[in-house]
Chain A
């Protein structure tokens, strides 16, 4: 899976979950600062990432995922994707 494909999947999750316009989703988008996501929003997002990409994200890693770019990079580096 290419970086762009990962980005598109992450963007689709965020688009649905936060009712976002796709054009506003960039790598710099910060979950807490830009989306006002709280702990429940973030856990829901992380669980959906795990379901979508088929692997587990340990809590200590999940805490470091703060932007869309962080999520895409994490998946690219760590995940065995469901092809």
Chain B
């Protein structure tokens, strides 16, 4: 298998990317890594070039670039050429830590949308409080507007991923709504509920509420891109704020509290570990013709390694092929 990597995207590129790729290379001996980026910067970082091919590129898409325009105009960018390698059949999957909008545009317009999928969705895996299983949230923001049909397709695609990559048998699919009763929500969500319910091949458990999703009521939480993005950022923001408040209060308090904090150190470490989402890999753009994974811009070597592991699993299990086969043979209308 071959994975095309944009080595120049993200805050810690190319160092973290190359370190993560080398760690993955040592573990997956069936995989070759096609690394797209500035050879002069990448070469000195390689301690061993076994199964790592450098493809020299001369342009970089930055965080400030307008997504669609940049992928159409910066044809020699590391991100564009890595995605192009998948389109040309040279690579099986595409990875980047770069500009999120440009990664989505590269996935949709270069790798290409699966014909029957109306709109690909962005799908991170988020932590759950009581287990280590986590849950998938999609769409986390690839699309600003939505239709019931898109939500149904997200449920189906998320189910394939949860089963293949996370090893969950018969994953529970929930629809994020403003109440658990079947008739909650706007027209789109009411219609999506009925579409998901009508598909007897999936384990649709009905509506789930935002207040409860971290308790893991569903393995896949389906939502429209606008809401999904707000939910994702609220979870991240709340977790960060809580940690900040806790830290501030402990440091500003008297000796007794500081001693108590010292004694509770292990519990704090466990809280930190719970919100460490690197082990789940990056966010998958699902609904395109090959695995496309976007990791956080601040990804370190470990995050990149886990993303490689995640991609390896998706390619080995042929998750995208299952999505294509399913939607090609179903009567689902893509519009």
Query: Which stretch, A3-11, A23-31, A39-47, touches the partner chain B?
Result: A39-47
Give Cα distance in the complex from A9 to B334, angstroms: 23
Least Cβ–Cβ distance between A77 and chain B, in angstroms? 20
Pick from A36, A40, A47, A59: contact of B119, CB under 8 Å: A40
Q: Assess whether A43 is in contact with B109, with CB atoms less than 8 Å apart.
A: yes
Pick from A36, A38, A47, A59: contact of B109, CB under 8 Å: A47
Least Cβ–Cβ distance between B204 and chain A, in angstroms? 27
Q: Assess whether A40 is in contact with B108, with CB atoms less than 8 Å apart.
A: yes
Q: Which residues from chain B contact A40 at a C-beta distance below 8 Å?
A: 108, 119, 143
B142: nearest chain-A partner, CB-CB: A40
B72 touches A (CB below 8 Å): yes
B1 touches A (CB below 8 Å): no
The proximity string for A residues 33-68 relative to B, scoring 1 for CB distances below 8 Å and 0 otherwise, is 000101010011001000000001001000000000
Q: Assess whether B335 is in contact with A59, with CB atoms less than 8 Å apart.
A: no
The proximity string for B residues 102-139 relative to A, scoring 1 for CB distances below 8 Å and 0 otherwise, is 00000011000100000100000000000000000000
Residues of B in contact, count (CB < 8 Å): 11
B241 touches A (CB below 8 Å): no
Q: Which residues from chain A contact B68 at a C-beta distance below 8 Å?
A: 43
B270 touches A (CB below 8 Å): no
Least Cβ–Cβ distance between B178 and chain A, in angstroms? 26
Give Cα distance in the complex from A16 to B113, angstroms: 13
Pick from B69, B113, B143, B145: contact of A44, CB under 8 Å: B113
B108: nearest chain-A partner, CB-CB: A40
Give Cα distance in the complex from A56 to B74, angstroms: 12
Give Cα distance in the complex from A33 to B291, angstroms: 33
Q: Assess whether B113 is in contact with A36, with CB atoms less than 8 Å apart.
A: no
Give Cα distance in the complex from A59 to B119, angstroms: 22
Q: Which residues from chain B contact A43 at a C-beta distance below 8 Å?
A: 68, 109
A39: nearest chain-B partner, CB-CB: B68
| With A44-B109, A44-B113, A47-B109 as contacts: A36 and B69 at CB distance below 8 Å | no
15 chain-A/chain-B pairs, Cβ below 8 angstroms: A19-B334, A36-B335, A38-B145, A40-B108, A40-B119, A40-B143, A43-B68, A43-B109, A44-B108, A44-B109, A44-B113, A47-B72, A47-B109, A56-B72, A59-B69
Binding site for A on B (CB under 8 A): 68-69, 72, 108-109, 113, 119, 143, 145, 334-335
